Structure 1
Amino acid sequence: MRLVRSELLKIRTTSVWWIFALITLPLWGLTLFINYIQASFYLNPTIPQDQISPDQQAQIAAAGDPVNVAASFYTNGQLLSLMIIMLLGIIVVTSEFFHQTVTTTFLTTPHRTAVVLAKLAAGALLGLAFWIVTTVLNIATGGLILGHFGLGSQLGEGAVWQAIGLNGLAYLLWTAIGVGLGVLIRSQIGATVTGIMLYLGGYIGALIVIGVLANRFGDWINKLQLIVPSLASQLMVTGTNLPGNPPRWAGAAVLIGYAVVAGVIGTLIMRRRDVS
């Protein structure tokens, strides 16, 4: 606990966390607006039925299910907030190298594994705080918007609370992935740019590639989104399993695998790497 408190103190005494919090707020508002537009379409689709395939009709109908609409609002902002949390995880580690305090840290606590675990725990607590704040905002605004659509709050549905809980798990896992990247790439700028490219570049690139392949070879290609971390975390927060997509638990399992691999490899490298 002493090491965790020390890492939390390092985070609190820098301006990075609240700068990221200020960045998160307008991004959250932007995604809320996008969610509103999407929900309006799914609840009242304007595409003629004869212009889309039966599989696409089923997907649109499922996305317009009140439980799925509610889940999207109660987990609003996940895509960009998870990237922010990942970057915070990176900075928790790389700031030590950037400010050249890592040698002092390891001289004070020579057990490097314990230091990495403390950074993971501190990052996880920070990620949990971001999740709690965004969830409170989502429940407050989501309930109003769902009432506007005449759907009710849907908070009595277990699937909605599962989506909210899995969203919290995604925050924790992306923090771990960020810490792992920070250990693998000690340069703060290098790790940050790499993390953004892997997260957003992988997300956009995978959507384009999977979309093209699905049109050519069939909707079963959509299941490949499971191997892309940023898409796997989105899959976790669907209210119900959507037609043509992998189940939610599969997205959680894949993301846990990425977080464990990043954490283990990062810890092993940190134990062996010269930090002088």
Structure 2
Amino acid sequence: MSAELLKLRTIRTPWILLAVAQLVIVAGVAGPFTTGDRTDPTIVRAGAAHLGLVALFTLVLGIMAVAGEHRHRTITDTYLTSPHRGRVLARKLAVYTGAGAVFGAVGAITAVASVAVAAAVTDVTVDWSDPRLWRTIAGCVAWNVAFAALGVGIGALVPNVTAAITGSLAWLALVEAVVAALIGSDAAQWLPFAAGAALGGLPSGGDGLPQWGAVVLLAAYVAAVGVAAAVVTRRRDIA
């Protein structure tokens, strides 16, 4: 566990992803306040919900936790140090899920600060006592955590880091929308990005699952991918 934490702290990629994520949140929050209807009572939650979109960064971070080691050929040393591959995967899952929580928490601070600044500049009143706002923020943090865990499983299943990241982002950005159009909205709400949107309160998730249902569904995705990853990892030959 300590080795995984050390790697996470000392390599540049997590810090770069964290920094870029904050810029995305700031830009995302600013959007509704500058171009949207400022009399719309949902504008504050719409801005804050952009915290959920940076779950794509935690997904990439989780993928790199395993696939990145295959790319740099350090996975052999990792397994020689700890031959029980299931435990190695479990430690990575724990550490990078925690990293997803850190990304979510830092992003939440950025989102709240950005909302406060944007609202002050545009003369929009923010009801900080609105529980729906804080449920949105909490859901977005959970979305970051879930996608970090999902990324670890995907990285173990697809050890080619380029293929894993490209395929995952292509699914979320394009393929899921096509699949949703083919199967209809009732079935589409069970897809992973739709579940994240429902969890984070994005408009695309407004007619989807309730927030608690999205939590259960994403947990099921993480568990299914994690079990598959553990089976494949135990059977895979490592050069």
Report the TM-score, using the length of structure 1 for normalisation: 0.76
Aligned-pair Cα RMSD in Å: 2.6
- Cα distance 1:35–1:261, how it changes in 2: closer, same or farther (>3 A)? farther
Q: CA deviation at 1:145?
A: 3.2
Q: CA deviation at 1:203?
A: 4.7
- Cα distance 1:158–1:166, how it changes in 2: closer, same or farther (>3 A)? same
Equivalent of residue 7 in structure 1, options 4, 22, 25: 4
Partner of 2:83, secondary structure, is: coil
- Cα distance 1:203–1:22, how it changes in 2: closer, same or farther (>3 A)? farther
Correspondences of 1:42-57 after superposition (within 5 Å): none
- Cα distance 1:23–1:205, how it changes in 2: closer, same or farther (>3 A)? farther
**Equivalence for 2:67:** 94
Equivalent of residue 197 in structure 2, options 234, 245, 253: 234
Q: Write out per-residue CA displacement over residues 120-170 of structure 1, whole angstroms, 9 at most, x where no aligned residue.
A: 111112111111111111111212334566664322122222222221211
Q: CA deviation at 1:92?
A: 0.7
Q: CA deviation at 1:206?
A: 5.2
**For 1:94 and 1:157, how far apart are their aligned partners in 2?**
41
Partner of 1:110, secondary structure, is: coil
Give structure 2 stretches of 5+ with no counterpart: none
8 Å contact from structure 2 (residues 63, 153) kept in 1:
yes
Q: CA deviation at 1:268?
A: 1.6
Give structure 1 stretches of 5+ with no counterpart: 45-63, 214-220
**For 1:10 and 1:70, how far apart are their aligned partners in 2?**
37
Q: CA deviation at 1:82?
A: 1.0
Larger Rg, first or second structure (1 or 2) = 1
Q: CA deviation at 1:204?
A: 4.3
**For 1:251 and 1:202, how far apart are their aligned partners in 2?**
20
Equivalent of residue 229 in structure 2, options 262, 266, 276: 266
- Cα distance 1:20–1:239, how it changes in 2: closer, same or farther (>3 A)? closer
Correspondences of 1:193-272 after superposition (within 5 Å): 193-205=166-178, 209=181, 221-238=184-201, 244-272=207-235
Deviates more, 1:256-265 or 1:19-28: 19-28
Letter in 2 for 1:74: A
Equivalent of residue 112 in structure 2, options 132, 135, 139: 139
Aligned length: 238
- Cα distance 1:104–1:245, how it changes in 2: closer, same or farther (>3 A)? closer
Equivalent of residue 16 in structure 1, options 13, 17, 22: 13
**Equivalence for 2:82:** 109
- Cα distance 1:157–1:110, how it changes in 2: closer, same or farther (>3 A)? same
Percent of aligned pairs with the same residue? 22
Letter in 1 for 2:71: F
- Cα distance 1:70–1:223, how it changes in 2: closer, same or farther (>3 A)? farther
Equivalent of residue 70 in structure 1, options 44, 49, 71: 44
**For 1:272 and 1:141, how far apart are their aligned partners in 2?**
47
8 Å contact from structure 1 (residues 72, 239) kept in 2:
yes
Q: Write out per-residue CA displacement over residues 234-276 of structure 1, whole angstroms, 9 at most, x where no aligned residue.
A: 1112299x87443222222222211111111111211222223
8 Å contact from structure 1 (residues 223, 244) kept in 2:
no
- Cα distance 1:88–1:19, how it changes in 2: closer, same or farther (>3 A)? same
Report the TM-score, using the length of structure 2 for normalisation: 0.87
8 Å contact from structure 2 (residues 17, 57) kept in 1:
yes
**Equivalence for 1:50:** none
Partner of 2:222, secondary structure, is: helix
**For 1:195 and 1:174, how far apart are their aligned partners in 2?**
11
Q: Write out per-residue CA displacement over residues 8-64 of structure 1, whole angstroms, 9 at most, x where no aligned residue.
A: 2112222211222343233223322333256x23x55xxxxxxxxxxxxxxxxxxx4
